[in-house]
Amino acid sequence: MGQPDSTKRRASKAPRAEVKSDAPLAPKADRRPPTTRYQGSKLSLLGWLHEHLSTLDFDSATDLMCGTGSVAYLLKSMGKSTLANDALRANFQSARALVENSTEQLTTGQVSGLLEPYAADEAQLSVVASEYDGVFFLPDENRFLDRIVPRIARLSSASRAIAFHSLFQACLMKRPFNLFHRKNLHLRTAKVARSFGNKTTWERPFEELFQRAVRETNAAVFDNGRVNQASCSDAFAVRVATDLVYLDPPYLRAKGSSFRYADAYHFLEGLTDHDEWQTKIDRSKKHLPYRAAQSSLEDRKHGAEALSELIEAQRSVQEVVVSYRSAGVPSIEVLEKQLRSQHRKVRVVHKANRYALAIHDSAEVLLVGSRPKRVHG
Ligand SMILES: C[S@@+](CC[C@H](N)C(=O)[O-])C[C@H]1O[C@@H](n2cnc3c(N)ncnc32)[C@H](O)[C@@H]1O
């Protein structure tokens, strides 16, 4: 299995819908990753992806920019030894909970412990309450986060990952647009007539949403009998050593703008680094982002070049599978040519799709580049 070199650790005006899986995941038809509201999640496309991935001959796979891990979860459900990697710390926790973890579930006792009021001798950290007052959540909710996060941090690795993943889902459910890209709590608190029902979810208590997410996450844990791993590295630092690499890069539009994941989900990054968070806040911006390296793949000027470089780095991998958009930059023709230059047979398959969060429609595309297998003997 591929090992990372290091283990370092404009949004639509429309309300966002929860994304659900589109089809059962053969061969384990009962396996479904939990619902999520993550931008660009492939959850609703897993059936389609499975249709194409299952035609390929491979035993191990790397999901190099795995987001919340839905495709890595699919690969795991297909019985492959799977590495799920993402540059974001929060996604690393999700991948650890759903892909790396094969056996542990968060117990009812652990959940009760996480939700208890402060104990008399418990240190009361207040980074969210003091730094993010009026920014993303209500005061009581900020205190809830300050209380639960240090407790989550004390759990053992797989339990911690399930708790973090569940907390992230609760946070996303309570946010307008399910993002942290703007200081916009007022969108939630304003007394205005609304034509959509998200307000109801925003006002559900954290405790309830968290427990709901834990139940869903627990139910998704399974063992495929293989070793699976999660890692948190820049994709360029991962030397892929699996039979297949799956790339689902940030979508760079023709006009050059890209969704910036580290900016949109910075608050979740902060939750994973509660002790150090205060020192890593960029106070020059109103939404107080947790400072993180910007991905070269999201860079307006050099993103297209960076993607070509990343694909070039996969030259020796047997199967290269790229999820892409018909209006993406570089064009599909350019990517196809590049894969062919690696002596691959290339298939390009199109599926009409609308991202849960998309502003402009563009078709979902899959490029599958396979190197001819050597015949021995
Ligand atoms: C389109 S999303 C992937 C969605 C994922 N397939 C899913 O189903 O949830 C793109 C992901 O690329 C990650 N990313 C962006 N630049 C990266 C880099 N240089 N290295 C690793 N991950 C990166 C982002 O954090 C984001 O999670």
Q: Which domains does the chain have, with CATH numbers?
A: 3-103+222-260+295-370 (3.40.50.150), 112-220 (no CATH)
| Size of the chain, expressed as the number of residues it contains | 377
Taking only the tens place, the pLDDT of each residue in 126-183 is 999 999 999 999 999 999 999 999 999 999 999 999 999 999 999 999 999 999 999 9
Cα 341 to chain center, whole Å? 31
Q: Is the CB of 67 under 6 A from ligand 1?
A: yes
pLDDT value at position 92?
Answer: 98
Mean pLDDT of the chain: 88
What are the DSSP E strand ranges found in the chain? 3-4, 60-63, 81-85, 229-231, 238-239, 244-247, 319-325, 345-351, 364-370
pTM of this prediction?
A: 0.90
Taking only the tens place, the pLDDT of each residue in 310-348 is 999 999 999 999 999 988 899 999 999 999 999 999 999
Q: Is the CB of 71 under 6 A from ligand 1?
A: yes
Residue 122, C-beta contacts closer than 8 angstroms, at least 6 positions apart: none
Most informative mutation of 43, 83, 261, 322 for ligand 1 (most atoms within 8 A of CB): 261
Taking only the tens place, the pLDDT of each residue in 193-208 is 766 668 888 889 999 9
* Phi and psi at residue 307, to the nearest 5°: -65, -40
Q: Is the CB of 297 under 6 A from ligand 1?
A: yes
Residue located via tokens 């492959």: 80
pLDDT value at position 258?
Answer: 83
Distance (Å) from CA 17 to ligand 1 centroid: 20
Residue 156, C-beta contacts closer than 8 angstroms, at least 6 positions apart: 104
Confidence of residue 122 (pLDDT cuts 50, 70, 90): confident
Distance (Å) from CA 249 to ligand 1 centroid: 6
Q: Which residues pair with 323 in a beta bridge?
A: 366
- Asked if 192 contacts 125 with a C-beta cutoff of 8 angstroms, the reply is no
Percent with pLDDT over 90 in the chain = 73
pLDDT value at position 365?
Answer: 96
pLDDT value at position 377?
Answer: 53
pLDDT value at position 10?
Answer: 33
| Cα 71 to Cα 62, 83, 172, 331, distances in angstroms | 10, 11, 20, 23
Q: State how far the Cα of 274 lies from the Cα of 306, in Å rounded to an integer.
A: 32
